[in-house]
Amino acid sequence: MSDLDLSLYLVTDPGLSRGRSYEFMVEEAVKGGVTVVQLREKNLSSRKFYELAKSLMSLLKPMNIPLIINDRLDIALAVDADGLHIGQSDLPYHIARKLLGKDTIIGLSVETIEQAREANRLDVDYIGLSPVFSTNTKRDINRPLGLSGVKEIASFTKHKTVGIGGINNANAKSVIASGAHGVAVVSAIVSHDNPRKAASELKTIIDSAK
């Protein structure tokens, strides 16, 4: 999808949102400038995940903001989501593409330079560079790529890129300056007292770096 705007990519995490609902957090974040939302949920039943995804689709569709489902192709299909994000150990890309069709956004996490090179053989819509910095929100990942890793991948990848992992107001500009098309954040927005304000401040930083 050539017009996919990855500038400020929100990844949900109920454990960090201080009891506030998904719908509240997502709507406030989008009003602040978030351009893509990924629903990531490891602990809900399939029924509850489906109902939540359906609710977020209803919220985001009129706002023209894509909803990406993390990992669960069945949920993405069930709610006709805009996209699916997969990791290196998830369903193979070619199977996901075959089932979802050519118009659905598919993103792929890459955790090493080698994985980013291998991704050049795939027709994914973007790659998530994970993690750029160390982070507490996801522990089952490789050592951080750092800004040098972002810069190296940006030099050869054919894909749009979004950095994730430990990104906040203090370092978002450097990630964009290193060649990423956007940054993905979790706690920098969902743990903030005012998620709309947090998103707005981040979006201003990102836009100024481009």
Considering the candidates 7, 17, 72, 109, report the single residue annotated as catalytic: 109
- Say whether 98 is catalytic: no
State the catalytic residue, choosing from 54, 55, 97, 138.
138
Conformation bin of residue 142: beta by default, left when phi > 0, alpha when psi is -120 to 50: beta
| Residue 192 structure tokens | 């903030």
Phi then psi for 114, rounded to 5 degrees?
-65, -45
Kindly give, in sequence order, each residue whose CB lies less than 8 Å from that of residue 186, ignoring residues fewer than 6 positions away. Answer: 10, 11, 12, 13, 16, 135, 137
Q: Which DSSP symbol is given to 16?
A: G
- 67-70 vs 182-185, strand pairing mode: unpaired
Provide the token pair at 7.
């500038």
**112 DSSP β-pair partners:** none
Q: Where are the beta strands (DSSP E) in 100-145?
A: 105-110, 126-129
Q: For residue 61, indicate whether it is catalytic.
A: no
| 138 part of the active site | yes
Distance CA 20, CA 196 (A): 13
Q: Which of 17, 40, 187, 196 is catalytic?
A: 40
Q: Please, what is the end-to-end C-alpha distance for the chain in angstroms?
A: 20
Q: Could you give the residue numbers annotated as active site?
A: 40, 109, 138
